[in-house]
Amino acid sequence: MTGPPTYLDRILAAHRDAAAADRRTPASLAEAAEAADPPRGFAAGVRAVAETGDLAVIAEIKRRSPSKGDLDVDLDPGAVAAAYERGGAACLSVLTDAAFFGGSAADLRAARSASGLPALRKDFTVCAADVYDARAMGADAVLLIAAALSGAELRDLHALAVSLGMDVLVEVHDERELDEALRTGAAMIGVNQRDLVTFAVDTDRAVHLADLLPAGVIAVAESGVDGPASAARLAAAGYHAVLVGETLMRAADRAAAVAGLRRCAVPRP
């Protein structure tokens, strides 16, 4: 007997329903994607910071979340992005989900335009149209969540994103998902310490999986980074980057908060 729908169940159901109702043609989607400005190198941005010995910070712009409620619903995405850039962020992550996170494509466009940083479209990508839309709105990278996709979907969407010139952050939560990501050929893997079923954070998850990440893969720790001490622990475990949302969104001085995280030393990739 199954339990009540989880956060992830509800979010994915909404996105798959939207995908099923989408009547745009592949040709029109491809045309919009090809008209976007050339991608900035997202993975290259992470590597450039990591190679200095600092921890690369992927700084997130997020208005709200299902588990934490409102964070900064009236934020100016351009101003937030500029503050992150002043603090030394390597890249941006921008929530574009409207129903559950209050984000939009306009948020990504504004954040990217206000800074020189590459931007990840942070959303629940479930179909090819989502990948094309990411490129059309100017995203330099796309998030693929292994828990949300079949193995075939993960491989197909990964290949499509790469063909459009984007980098791909494949998000995993356990050994099985990590194996699937590696079989897909993922060059950048994010270990999310937040359980997408309960939304609880396990701060040991990323450390546990760190030794299983092969050399050459850009290792990103996601969720549960509440300050320099937790960032330093992840850096010591071998992560090149942290993706941080709530902590930065709640910071009184966002530029200083990014700078404090970046100063954690990491192994060179």
> What tokens does 2 get?
């199954």
Output DSSP code: residue 252: S
Positions marked catalytic: 60, 62, 122, 171, 192, 222-223
Nearest to 44 by CA among 93, 91, 109: 91
In whole angstroms, give the CA distance from residue 268 to residue 240: 8
In whole angstroms, give the CA distance from residue 59 to residue 20: 32
Nearest to 182 by CA among 149, 140, 154: 154
> What tokens does 144 get?
């693929």
- Cβ neighbors of 176 (< 8 A, separation 6 or more) are none
